Amino acid sequence: MRMRQISKIALAWDLIQQGIPKRRIADHLRVHRRTIIRWHQGINQFGSLEDFLDYHLIAKKGPRQKRKINPILKKRIWDLRDKHHDCCGQKIAYHLKKDYGIKLGVTTIYRVLAEKYILRSKWKKNKKPGPVPKAKGPREVVQMDTVNFGSIFAFTAVDIFSRETDVLLRPSLEATDGQAFLHTCMKRRFDSFVNLIQTDGGSEFKKELHQDALLYCQRHRYARNYKKNEQSYIESFNRSLRKECLGWSKYKPSQIPALTREVNQWLVYYHYQRPHLGLGMRPPLKDWV
């Protein structure tokens, strides 16, 4: 393989001296045009084909050293992850460019993060998604769900188009709690009416909530069992709520007032500062400021 490469360099040099364009040489040798240019520049720099080939052979011996990243840049990457609630590589790349004018690949960012943090495994691609209600504008589809925090339950909702969200902490998981959440979130967050409200089939979203749902929507739809992708937007938000705000701890009902203040503060960050991948790195309510 090495001798074949040397033969290509020698042939390329011979063709260059004959005045043949580098593009045609590259196509003939099946290499990139930039490679021909580098070979040409190297031969001119060393003064002769023989000296360049000697250097080329020496340079190709042994394993190639990995590129080193500036320690200051590493620290910036780590600081950005801590500052923005363990955000992903795409968001770190966004903040690097926005705050420091540095353009860095996501693969490189994850390589730096792996030096300090334990990262989750890569998501398996090409999973066939289940059917999800579509939205062409805000206030068309709102998904609702709950998150278990021991003796406290977080009722959550998201507008799947605008990504606006709301959270209400309750001491139990009864249909009356779901009803209280419905009245609260629809009035203070979703302008009191949407086209469709979608929930799972849990008991907290039946009886009282189902009876009152039509006060705030044209249709209340239950997501199909074992079809998690039908609730993908709210499930994604629930992960963010755990990861960036309340964690995986177990709480007591007496902690609801303090936790509510913490959640409300995080929701302000979520809506006005946190870049959202699904919105092209724009916070959900940035244009409303």
| Residue-level pLDDT at 129 | 44
Q: What pLDDT score does 50 carry?
A: 87
3-state class (DSSP) for residue 147? strand
Place 155 in a pLDDT band, splitting at 50, 70 and 90.
Answer: very high
Check: CB of residue 129 under 8 Å from CB of residue 150.
no
Q: What is the strand order of the sheet 165-170 is part of?
A: 165-170, 152-159, 141-149, 194-199, 217-222
Give the pLDDT confidence of 160-179 residue by residue, as tens digits: 999 999 999 999 999 999 99
Q: Which of 203, 196, 184, 204 is nearest to 220 (CA)?
A: 196
Is residue 76 scored above 50 in pLDDT? Answer: yes
- Of the candidates 145, 207, 153, 198, which has an alpha carbon nearest to the alpha carbon of residue 176? 207
Mean pLDDT of the chain: 88
Contacts of 185 (CB under 8 A, 6+ apart): 155, 157, 166, 168
Whether 79 shows a pLDDT value over 60: the answer reads yes
The pLDDT value recorded for residue 46 is 85
pLDDT-based confidence at 204, cuts 50/70/90? very high
- 5 or 29: whose pLDDT is higher? 29
Give the model's pLDDT for residue 130: 47
Contact between 96 and 102 under an 8 Å Cβ cutoff? The reply is yes
